[in-house]
Amino acid sequence: MDIPPLLLQFAGSLIAIFALYALARAMRLGGERVLENDESVKAVAAQVEDGFDAQRVAIDRGGTAALASDDQGQIMLIKRHGNQFAGRILTSDARVSEEVDAIIVTCGDPRFGPVRLSLGNPAIWVDAINRL
């Protein structure tokens, strides 16, 4: 049976891709960064939106997500993405729901996805997001 060269190339490349992915996992590349304190959240917030000057910060207990607000009333949602962080400034499209031990924030960008935050004092943030 003759296999078309393009199909052969595709299959070979696919095998190489998954082999490299598996190897990256086996070598434990990447690691898991966490937001350890207010300063680390402020630094990440300033990177997400250049010049964002976070005044108030709330970090998820696991350190994988955070909320930050500046003195202009803007609220930023930050989540871990791989071993980096990504974030969005929340708009009136943002939604927040409460669970027993956490809040779920969605920013209106469906691909960014809902972010679960287990916070010490979520009520302030729920209120602030609902007022956007």
Partner 1 sequence: MPDFSPTQYAVPLFVVAVLAEMIWARFRRPEAYEPMDTLVSLAFGLGSTMAGALFGGFAAYVFIEAYEYRIFDMGDQWWAIWWAWPLCFVLDDLKYYWVHRAGHRIRWMWASHVNHHSSQHYNLSTALRQSWTGAFTFGLLFAIPLVLLGFHPIMIAICGGFNLIYQFWIHTEAIDRMPKWFEAVMNTPSHHRVHHATNPRYLDRNYAGVFIIWDKMFGTFEPEQRSDEGGEPIRYGIVKQLGSFNLLYAVFHEWIGMVSDIWRAPWKQKLSYLLREPGWSHDGSRDTSDTIRARWQQRQTRTLPVEAKPVADQNPIAGSAEAANSPI
Which of 50, 73, 120, 121: binder of partner 1 (CB under 8 A)? 50
Catalogue the long-range contacts made by 63-68 (C-beta closer than 8 Å, 24 or more residues apart): 63/34, 63/35, 63/36, 64/34, 64/35, 65/35, 65/115, 65/116, 65/117, 66/35, 66/41, 66/117, 67/105, 67/117, 67/119, 67/125, 68/41, 68/42
Nearest-approach distance from CB 90 to partner 1, in angstroms? 14
Which member of 1, 3, 51, 71 binds partner 1 (CB under 8 A)?
51
Does position 81 interact with partner 1 (CB under 8 A)? The reply is yes
Q: Does 87 bind partner 1 (CB under 8 A)?
A: yes
Site for partner 1 in 12-41 (CB under 8 A): 13-14, 16-18, 20-21, 23-25, 27-31, 33
